[in-house]
Structure 1
Amino acid sequence: MALPWARPAAAQSSDVYMCKGADGVPEYRNGNPGNSKDCKRLNLPDVVTVPGSRAGGAPSGGKSAAATSPTSFPRVDSATQKSRDSERRTVLETELQTEEARLAGLRAEYNNGEPERQGGERNYQKYLDRVARLRDDITRSEANVASLRRELSGLKD
Structure 2
Amino acid sequence: MPTARLFLLFGLLLSASAQAEIYKYVDENGQVTFTDVYRKGARRVDLPGAPGPVPGKGNAAKRASYAPSPAGFPRIDPATQKRRDDVRRQVLQDEIASEQRDADEARRQLKLGERLQPGERATDASYANRVNKLRATLQQHEQNIADIRRELANLK
TM-score (ref. length: structure 1): 0.46
TM-score (ref. length: structure 2): 0.47
Higher fraction of helix: 2
